[in-house]
């Protein structure tokens, strides 16, 4: 078989383009290859409703979430990774790595190599790429020329692997939730050459309410769930208004892939379930970096055994481990930021001090999370709908380390080494990989 040189060149360019980015190969019809790819390039919107426990769907009326579940797929719950905290789990969702492997081991953490403290309020550190291990999905996407908008997602303001998202939005909890939706949907609805292929949204209203009020019973939590449901309605309507609704084939589902998750659940607290650390140990010497409900102790090396001896078995509802004894199932032992001594409160118990209680009368938390990730109460939400997903399916509980592989598959990105497995989520897909 012989090729004319120009045909050979076209094939070569087509092959290169096909390797370099996701989507179908260019058609041999003379159309601009980039147009063909862009028009068919998949789009994925990942939405997080912080603290939305899996069973909050049953607490009150949630018509929009129910509709989404009907046209898409719902997991009975999403099992978070340990510790069931916000930053560790959001970063697990986008890297497929356990917190003990990606390095965001807590919301507040000490790094002995950097001699530095990371907290959510330290903007400089939150924006510093040195804290973020693994490769978040937006980095792989940007490297392949896709545009990303991981709006307010933990880690999204930092340069990681030499790259930042196309759109970088420093966290501002005061931006109204509907304005967040409008902004991100507008980026998804831009023309094919400029639009976002991967975007995220983040809402904290449920987490806020369920820390303040009893997550199991408070009407304020039920009201927040209804507001979150309204936001989902606004989001679906916004997709439709921008021409991003589904075709007849995917009737009722969004026209782009939508994954709606939460990072963890919530367990109810009560003042009679307080662990007062000052009654157990000298707080100064113990050097407590993070408190509730997973306490991170960083005493000077020579004081570790003394502090461990004081804490171990000292309270019936606080499990205390040396780093190397932390249970295997937490995958939480190797990283330098994991403290030499870790205390994990039992479900519903709060780690605090007598002074803290005295200083804040009537402000005991309604609920907390961070506990053992296998607890049913720590279970999170997982709903997905769109062209890639099955319709009307309910599946067994999923672990959140697998969501990354699922998203890479949808976007046609080769996943980086991670703790998840596409085989664990292929049953969610309309056509199995």
Q: Which of 21, 107, 197, 388 binds ligand AMP (CB under 6 A)?
A: 107
Q: Is the dihedral of CA 79, 82, 86, 88 positive or negative?
A: negative
Could you say whether residue 400 binds Zn ion (CB under 5 A)? no
Could you say whether residue 215 binds ligand AMP (CB under 6 A)? no
Per-residue exposure over 247-282, b if at least 16 CB sit within 10 Å of its own CB, e if not: eeebebbbbbbbbbbbbbbbbbbeeebbbebeebbe
Q: Which residue is nearest to ligand AMP (CB)?
A: 86
Task: Tell me which H or E stretch contains 261.
Answer: strand 257-261
Reduced to 3 states (helix: H, G, I; strand: E, B; else coil), residue 135 is coil
Q: Which of 125, 142, 207, 356 binds ligand AMP (CB under 6 A)?
A: 207
Could you say whether residue 175 binds ligand AMP (CB under 6 A)? no
Could you say whether residue 257 binds Zn ion (CB under 5 A)? no
Which of ligand AMP, Zn ion, none interacts with 107 (beta carbon under 5 to 8 A by kind)? ligand AMP
Choose the catalytic residue: 86, 166, 200, 250. Answer: 86
Distance (Å, rounded) from C-alpha 138 to C-alpha 200?
10
- Nearer Cβ to ligand AMP (141/210): 210
Cβ neighbours of residue 58 under 8 Å, at least 6 residues apart? none
Residues in the chain: 433
Which of Zn ion, ligand AMP, none interacts with 138 (beta carbon under 5 to 8 A by kind)? none
Could you say whether residue 50 binds Zn ion (CB under 5 A)? yes
Could you say whether residue 290 binds Zn ion (CB under 5 A)? no
State yes or no: is 285 an active-site residue. no
Could you say whether residue 149 binds ligand AMP (CB under 6 A)? no
Q: Which of 11, 13, 117, 120 binds ligand AMP (CB under 6 A)?
A: 120
- C-beta contacts of 304-311 below 8 A and 24+ residues apart: 304/340, 304/341, 307/281, 307/341, 308/341, 310/280, 310/281, 310/282, 310/286, 311/280, 311/281, 311/286, 311/341, 311/343
- Nearer Cβ to ligand AMP (158/185): 158
Interface ranges with ligand AMP (CB under 6 A) = 50, 85-86, 107, 120, 126, 152, 154, 171, 173, 202, 204, 207-208
């Amino acid at each position: 078989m012989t090729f004319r040189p120009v045909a050979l060149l076209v094939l070569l360019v087509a092959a290169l383009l096909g390797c370099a980015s996701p989507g179908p190969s260019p058609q041999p019809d003379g159309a601009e290859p980039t147009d063909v790819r862009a028009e068919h390039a998949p789009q994925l919107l990942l939405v997080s409703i912080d603290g939305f426990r899996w069973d909050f769907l049953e607490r009150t009326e949630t018509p929009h979430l129910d509709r989404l579940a009907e046209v898409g797929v719902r997991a009975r719950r999403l099992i978070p990774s340990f510790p069931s905290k916000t930053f560790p789990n959001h970063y697990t969702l986008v890297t497929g790595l356990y917190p003990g492997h990606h390095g965001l081991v807590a919301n507040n953490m000490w790094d002995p190599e950097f001699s530095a403290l990371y907290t959510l309020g330290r903007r400089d550190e939150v924006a510093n790429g040195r804290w973020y291990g693994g490769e978040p999905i937006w980095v792989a996407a940007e490297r392949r020329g896709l545009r990303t908008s991981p709006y307010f997602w933990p880690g999204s303001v930092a340069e990681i692997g030499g790259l930042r998202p196309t759109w970088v939005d420093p966290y501002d909890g005061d931006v109204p939730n509907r304005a967040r939706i409008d902004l991100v949907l507008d980026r998804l609805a831009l023309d094919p050459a400029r639009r976002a292929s991967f975007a995220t949204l983040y809402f904290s209203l449920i987490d806020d309410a369920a820390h303040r009020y009893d997550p199991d019973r408070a009407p304020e939590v039920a009201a927040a769930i209804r507001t979150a449901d309204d936001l989902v309605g606004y989001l679906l309507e916004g997709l439709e208004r921008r021409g991003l609704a589904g075709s007849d084939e995917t009737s009722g589902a969004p026209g782009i892939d939508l994954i709606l998750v939460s990072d963890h659940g919530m367990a109810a607290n009560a003042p009679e379930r307080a662990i007062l650390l000052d009654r157990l140990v000298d707080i100064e010497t113990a050097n407590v970096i993070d408190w509730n409900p997973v306490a991170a102790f960083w005493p000077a090396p020579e004081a570790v055994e003394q502090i461990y001896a004081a804490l171990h078995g000292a309270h019936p509802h606080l499990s205390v481990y040396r780093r190397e004894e932390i249970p295997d199932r937490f995958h939480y032992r190797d990283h330098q930021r994991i403290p030499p001594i870790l205390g994990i409160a039992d479900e519903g118990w709060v780690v605090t001090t007598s002074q803290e209680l005295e200083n804040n009368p009537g402000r005991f938390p309604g609920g907390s999370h961070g506990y053992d990730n296998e607890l049913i109460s720590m279970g999170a939400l997982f709903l997905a709908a769109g062209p890639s997903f099955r319709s009307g399916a309910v599946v067994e509980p999923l672990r959140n380390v697998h969501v990354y592989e699922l998203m890479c598959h949808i976007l046609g990105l080769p996943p980086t080494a991670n703790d998840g497995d596409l085989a664990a989520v292929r049953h969610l897909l309309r056509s199995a990989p």
